Amino acid sequence: MVGQNQPIPGSWQLDSYLPILKGKRVGIVMNHASLVENTLLVDTLLAHGIDVQKIYVPEHGFTGKVPPGVPVTDTSYRDIRVVSVYGKTKEFPPELLEGIDILLFDLQDVGVRVYTYISTLFYAMDACSRTEIPLVVLDRPNPNIDVIDGPVLTDSSLRSFVGVVPVPLSYGMTIGELALMINGENWLPSEKKCQVIVVPVKNYSRSTVYTPPVPPSPNLRTLRAIRLYPVLVLFEGTSWSVGRGTQTPFELICREQPTSAPSCFSRKGKDCCGFSFRSIPMDSLLNWDELPFHWVVQAYLWHKQHIPEKPFFNSYFNKLTGDRKVRELIEKGADGQVIKNLWQHQVQQFKEQSRKYYLYK
């Protein structure tokens, strides 16, 4: 049980949505983190006599252990068909909803545009809008809800599964609020509204510090990694490593795959390999004034000075930022503040645009 003032996710509030599901053929978008207290959502529904027909799973699969980027295969759970929406196609073809009367959505998001669970939400909403099937979003806290910063996806040619909606890199909304905004701003390809019902989180505000009870994906294992993710994910678009394969992914960066915690990249000489962020106090990470995108600039300058023969950026970087000008400015030697100025006006516009969809003060 949670404490009296702890956030209560939408999935825990059975009285708010079980009556909607009674007598319906139900599909669920879920994974290992879709829990009602300590029990999987699907098991809870079955225990209450709900007719669960299909389970749809995103990147990392039902267990949350499939490595990033690896296609997820169809399987089954308790004789229920488990359908991958991160396999041959990463979208959500409407035909997958055949035999379904209502769709539940319960995934733990982290509030970063490139985190693919919101792309799965987007395509699930589109499929529901085309088939006129209601979508019930069981909302969960966003551990980065206080952060709205970073480049906004503005270039349609850079739209991809790691950037499907025109929001800042860190967009400061829960996944339920974002569903309302996708609907309200008419972003769906079908150009139809999706019938969205959001079950809000109780005991929650935009100042609540929230640590997901289980890692939402294989490489976001701690609140520290989740808070660093909006910046460190950009290193996925470079030749540097973010520590995948170590015990502390997304808590360090280094120019080669590390075998141990790397030293600071401010060290002199070519033996320098990276920087560990584990020494940064959590209070600092929980109280960002602005995201430190200058880390990317610093790493680029070190790389250019010490190993200029090796490229720093790869083609993925522009997809992550959603704006080609970010890389162009870094390569021209612009400092971090000049680069941040690139998106400040758009971020301010987004703050004003998104506020009307807020469910939490």
* DSSP category for residue 248: S
Query: Residue 56 and residue 129: Cα distance in Å, rounded?
Result: 17
- Tokens 């409407």 sit on residue: 94
How far from the centroid of its chain's Cα atoms is residue 317's Cα?
Answer: 17
Q: Strand 51-57 relative to strand 80-84: parallel, antiparallel, unpaired?
A: parallel
Helix axes 175-184, 117-131, angle to 10 degrees: 50
- Is the pLDDT confidence value at 261 over 70? no
Q: What angle do CA 248, 317, 232 make, to 5 degrees?
A: 25
217-234 per-position pLDDT tens digit? 999 999 999 999 999 999
Note the pLDDT of residue 335: 87
Query: Average pLDDT in the 317-327 region?
Result: 97
For residue 295, give both structure tokens: 């880390």
Strand order in the sheet with 25-29: 75-77, 80-84, 51-57, 25-29, 102-105, 135-138, 196-199
267-290 per-position pLDDT tens digit? 444 445 678 898 899 999 999 989
Query: Average pLDDT in the 326-338 region?
Result: 94
Q: What predicted TM-score, i.e. pTM, was given to this entire model?
A: 0.95
Q: Which residues contact 120 (CB under 8 A, 6 or more apart)?
A: 29, 58, 59, 85, 86, 90, 92, 107
111-160 per-position pLDDT tens digit? 999 999 999 999 999 999 999 999 999 999 999 999 999 999 989 999 99
Query: Average pLDDT in the 91-109 region?
Result: 97
What are the structural domains, with CATH classification, of the chain?
A: 10-212 (3.40.50.12170), 223-344 (no CATH)
- Is the pLDDT confidence value at 186 over 50? yes
* Beta carbons of 127 and 56 less than 8 angstroms apart: no
Helix axes 336-354, 294-306, angle to 10 degrees: 150
Query: Average pLDDT in the 14-32 region?
Result: 98
| Average per-residue pLDDT for the chain | 94
Note the pLDDT of residue 272: 53
Note the pLDDT of residue 266: 47
